[in-house]
Amino acid sequence: MKRMIVSTTTGLALALALTISLTPATVSAEGASSLRGDLALPEVKSPPQVFKLKLDQDKFERNFKTQPPLVPHKVAKYRVNLKVNRCLKCHDKANYKEEESPMAGKSHYMDASGKETAKLNMKRYFCMQCHVPQTDAKPLVANTFKGTK
């Protein structure tokens, strides 16, 4: 038994020594190439422009029937994670009347089978995936989209 332990330990020590001796001492970036090719990163001369939120409206007009409502207030510092959802403080079924704010849509309180539930469906929990604030930014490209009535 002792002989097996000694030979196993000796074998592991030899394997470790061989691995260390074959490993290069330094790693260099020579020979590595960027997916960009030889293009250098562009220099940033000024930080990107910060746009003002449009807060002068009570509600935003929707452009199509199933468009999620747009947010008419600041949300930059709202915490929305698995433990906290700041949006639900005002828009949850239990709070919206007291807070005098619109309730989250009924579709947000339906399970996979279409049955209405008392709790918010977790597939609809991360509000800011769909509900976004609006800014005074000019369009980046020409747009001829006309909303429906």
DSSP assignment of 23-58 equals S-S----TT---TTTTPPPPPP-SPPPPPPB--S-S
Is the predicted pLDDT of residue 122 greater than 90, yes or no?
Answer: yes
Top-confidence range, 16-20, 55-59, 60-64: 60-64
pLDDT band at 136 (very low <50, low <70, confident <90, very high): confident
State the CATH number of the domain containing residue 76: 1.10.1130.10
pLDDT band at 21 (very low <50, low <70, confident <90, very high): low
**Lowest mean pLDDT, pick from 10-19, 51-60, 81-90, 132-141:** 10-19
Judge whether 130 lies within some domain.
yes
- Tally of structural domains, the chain: 1
Residue 95: partners with Cβ closer than 8 Å, 6 or more residues away? 88, 89
Which pLDDT value is given to residue 29?
A: 61
Q: Determine the structural domain holding residue 90 and report its residue range.
A: 51-137
Judge whether 4 lies within some domain.
no
Q: Is 8 helix (H, G, I), strand (E, B) or coil?
A: helix
Instruction: Supply the pTM of this predicted model.
Output: 0.60
